[in-house]
Structure 1
Amino acid sequence: MDSEQRRRYQIAMVSTYSPDTSVLDHIVMPDGTEQSQGSDILTLLRTGKVFIVNSRKRNGLILYKRYHAEFAGPGAAVGGEYDCDCQSVLPIGNLSLLTAESYEERQKAYLIRRQWIRLIKQITENPVPQQRVQKILDQFEQYFPPETVAQIPDVTFALLVGVLPQTVGVVRRLGSELDSRFNY
């Protein structure tokens, strides 16, 4: 359903994260011009309009809320009143947002967003923090290339599954050694 009437936003993958800088390096608009500052997409989400993460691409958007983060994958709705409390964003892959043209499109996109939330919820129900981290890393590596997943900051995965960023770092470094220790 990628039509020319829809406004599309392309966002480049971020390679580094620092609390003192924006989480986006730049946004590439459809006409090829680049804009700096990650606040642009956040401003876009706060307009009250509902957008849909393009389901034809391997992309997604991590939405940083006050005490946690949410992942909106392909087909998921973002923006509107649901994300008015979003404090920052991190695009994954070459993000493409489409405008929701109809009520039916919005409903379907909200259902898909709910499925993404349920997937993360299932992961967070595991009482062992290291297992939660390994599971979220596995899920992301199944969908995105390993080099893309490697660029996602530890703090992001920590906020997604409710662990300390140091736990994510340990699991990333030790990986398979932890598998035998915690009997996955």
Structure 2
Amino acid sequence: MNSQLSTLDLSDSVEVLPPTEQLLAISEQKKSGLILCKDYHAEFAGPGAAVSCLVEPAYRAVIAIGSPTLAPMVTVEDRRRAYGRRIQWGRWLQRIVEHPESVVRAEKLLAGFEEFFGRQVVVSLPSEVLALLAGVFPGTIEMARSQHWRTTRFDTAAHLICSDQLKVTTISLSSEKQEVHSVPLLTTATVSEIEQTYAVLRSA
């Protein structure tokens, strides 16, 4: 997957940030996003959200949903809007994880992702990744899947080994065009396996 970073024409009246202070945001041109895996949880950054913030802890792994492209936020207003969108997506996930019942949290996460991306993408996401997002055990995700879609882990693994809409990917802190490495994400992958794959891609 290649990251196509847009070039913006700026008028003299627009306040432009120094290159070292620029950040990237997910393009709003299509339904796509990134799951950002951290030490003990995962976050979702949807269209318009800032990513690769210099003050943000390093990612354990990054999973692309769809084919997100990253655009440089070159003005103060661009950056303010991108941070605002990141906060909005964070609040969307926070409303889900605040529910006291773990199974309900899992069901709400599955339903929310299905509404935005479609069932095939959500069914193909590894349970451990969804568990990091919802703050539940992977087994709770499996239980919610069984109740939500009347399916089993065996059915899911047999019919949807992976989705072409899901990839383990690298993202760049640079605002210059460069190749972004990615590989398909297997439905059965564990977080540990995803992290190892991410490390290999980063070193490529």
Find 1:64's aligned residue among 24, 37, 46. 37
Paired residue total: 135
1:75–1:128 Cα change, 3 Å? same
* Aligned twin of 1:129: 102
Partner letter of residue 28 of structure 1?
Answer: N
1:176–1:87 Cα change, 3 Å? closer
Q: Which structure exhibits the higher relative contact order, with contacts defined as CA atoms closer than 8 Å and separated by 6 or more residues? A: 2
Structure-1-length-normalised TM-score: 0.68
Q: Which consecutive residues of structure 2, in runs of 5 or more, have no partner in the other structure?
A: 5-19, 151-204
Q: Tell me the distance in 2 between the aligned counterparts of 1:137 and 1:164.
A: 14
Q: Tell me the distance in 2 between the aligned counterparts of 1:160 and 1:149.
A: 13
Find 1:105's aligned residue among 75, 78, 89. 78
Q: Which consecutive residues of structure 1, in runs of 5 or more, have no partner in the other structure?
A: 1-26, 31-46, 178-184
Q: Tell me the distance in 2 between the aligned counterparts of 1:83 and 1:49.
A: 14
- Written as runs of structure 1 = structure 2, the 5 A alignment for 1:1-184 is 27-30=1-4, 49-175=22-148
Shift of residue 176, structure 1, vs aligned partner:
6.2
Q: Tell me the distance in 2 between the aligned counterparts of 1:48 and 1:149.
A: 35
Find the residue that maps to 2:112 and give its secondary structure: helix
Partner letter of residue 81 of structure 1?
Answer: L
Structure-2-length-normalised TM-score: 0.62
Contact 1:48 1:79 in 2 (8 A): no
Shift of residue 174, structure 1, vs aligned partner:
2.5
Shift of residue 48, structure 1, vs aligned partner:
7.4
The sequence identity of aligned pairs, in percent, is 37
1:104–1:157 Cα change, 3 Å? same
Bigger radius of gyration: 2
